[in-house]
Amino acid sequence: MLQSLIFDMDGTLFQTDKILELSLEDTFNHLRRLNKWDAVTPIDKYREIMGVPLPKVWETLLPDHSIEVREQIDTYFLERLIENISNGKGALYPNVKEVFNYLKENNYSIYIASNGLTEYLKAIVNYYDLDYWVTEFFSIQQITTLDKGDLVKDIIKKYNIEKAAVVGDRLSDINAAKDNGLISIGCNFDFAQEDELAQADWVIDDLIELTTILPKL
């Protein structure tokens, strides 16, 4: 029987799409004011790579900019994201709290492993009171490799987890499960890609489906 579930945050628990375009547009307007950008905001490109750590985001979106500029933009973007979360412009996916209640009632431990930065995750957890259910959230910032498999490994080691599933929408989540001998549950949500989900052990279209899948595991 499974003991624990390790959830991704963006595109799995939190509807990042609701604040992504707004925050990215703010950020590239900032670049334009600095005369460091003169094209359209690359929202579609960001959607393609959604789920990778932010340093890799800026390598992709700003390949011709210096590391210093990328770091400045990273900070600015994070500020915009947190402000939009705090202003209630984001949202959890349907049934997050219902599923978390089910898990808590059935003695599952809940963890979050995200490629998001610590302050960003903290803003979401605090705004939606997720710490009522979640034992601990982990950010990719906490490890040097920027590999979600290593992040999940740290969770397993810290909490002596033997049987668990990783729930997420991208290949990094599926691989993190495989790398650690865990079950992978792919979420067919906003940023998911069919070829990536094909590699998961299970695929769901709504988090509420976990309540029927988990007893089978």
User: Who's near 155: CB < 8 A, 6+ residues apart?
Assistant: 6, 111, 113, 136, 138, 161
Residue of 79, 184, 166 lying closest to 114 (CA atoms): 166
137: which 2 tokens? 């959230």
- In this prediction, residue 21 carries a pLDDT of 86
- In this prediction, residue 2 carries a pLDDT of 85
- In this prediction, residue 100 carries a pLDDT of 98
- Rounded to whole angstroms, the Cα distance separating 54 from 174 reads 19
Task: Share the mean pLDDT of the chain.
Answer: 94
- In this prediction, residue 11 carries a pLDDT of 93
Tell me the CA distances in angstroms from 132 to 77, 126, 137, 175, one per residue in order.
28, 10, 12, 28
Which residues of the chain register pLDDT less than 50? none
- In this prediction, residue 48 carries a pLDDT of 83
- In this prediction, residue 89 carries a pLDDT of 94
pLDDT digits (tens, 9 = 90+) for 184-211: 999 999 989 999 999 999 999 999 999 9
**HSE on the CB side for 131, CA within 13 Å?**
10
CB 92 within 8 A of CB 14: yes
- In this prediction, residue 1 carries a pLDDT of 77
pLDDT digits (tens, 9 = 90+) for 88-103: 999 999 999 999 999 9
The full set of domain ranges for the chain reads 4-15+92-216, 17-86
Q: Yes or no: is domain 4-15+92-216 CATH 3.40.50.720?
A: no
CB 115 within 8 A of CB 131: no
- In this prediction, residue 55 carries a pLDDT of 81
What are the E-state strand segments in the chain? 4-7, 109-114, 134-139, 164-168, 183-187, 202-204
- In this prediction, residue 54 carries a pLDDT of 78
- In the block, which residue shows the tokens 């412009």? 89
CA torsion, points 163, 52, 9, 42, in degrees to nearest 10?
Answer: -160
User: φ, ψ for residue 42 (rounded to 5)?
Assistant: -80, 60
Residue 10: DSSP 8-state: B
- Give the predicted TM-score (pTM) of the model: 0.89
